[in-house]
Amino acid sequence: QVQLVHSGAEVKKPGASVKVSCKASGYTFTGYYIHWVRQAPGQGLEWMGRITPNNGDTNYAQKFQGRVTLTRDTSISTAYMELSRLRSDDTAVYFCARDGHGYNFDYWGQGTLVTVSS
């Protein structure tokens, strides 16, 4: 069965960077986009960007351009999201999600809580 498993929770100081991983299993990793979506406490979902695992091509939301970098390692079926210059309002749960070939998000990881605090 399709599974997306995140790395563990992180606590970072303002100005630092964080790198979250998402390990895929149960399907051909290179055959589907991976998206990253975040959710601040008590808030809605916010799309950050997506990566094409086959060739590394990326699209980012304008809001995160220059601060977020999506990468992947096809040898271990893992996608990564790195967010730099962290601020307190970056405190959120960060989800990876598979694109189900219909421009939707058909499988989601359990999410990684990133807390930014001095």
Partner 1 sequence: QSALTQPPSVSGSPGQSVTISCTGTSSDVGTYNRVSWYQQPPGTAPKLMIYEVSNRPSGVPDRFSGSKSGNTASLTISGLQAEDEADYYCSSYTISSTWVFGGGTKLTVL
According to DSSP, residue 57 is labeled: -
Q: Which residues, 54 to 73, sit near partner 1 by CB under 8 A?
A: 59-62
Least distance in angstroms from the C-beta of 11 to partner 1: 20
Query: DSSP string of 12-64?
Result: E-TT--EEEEEEEESS-GGGS-EEEEEE-TT--EEEEEEE-TTT--EEE-GGG
Of the residues 20, 29, 32, 35, which one makes contact with partner 1 according to CB under 8 A: 35
Q: Cβ of residue 16: shortest distance to partner 1, in angstroms? A: 26
Query: Judged by CB, which is closer to partner 1: 66, or 102?
Result: 102
22 lies in the binding site for partner 1 (CB under 8 A): no
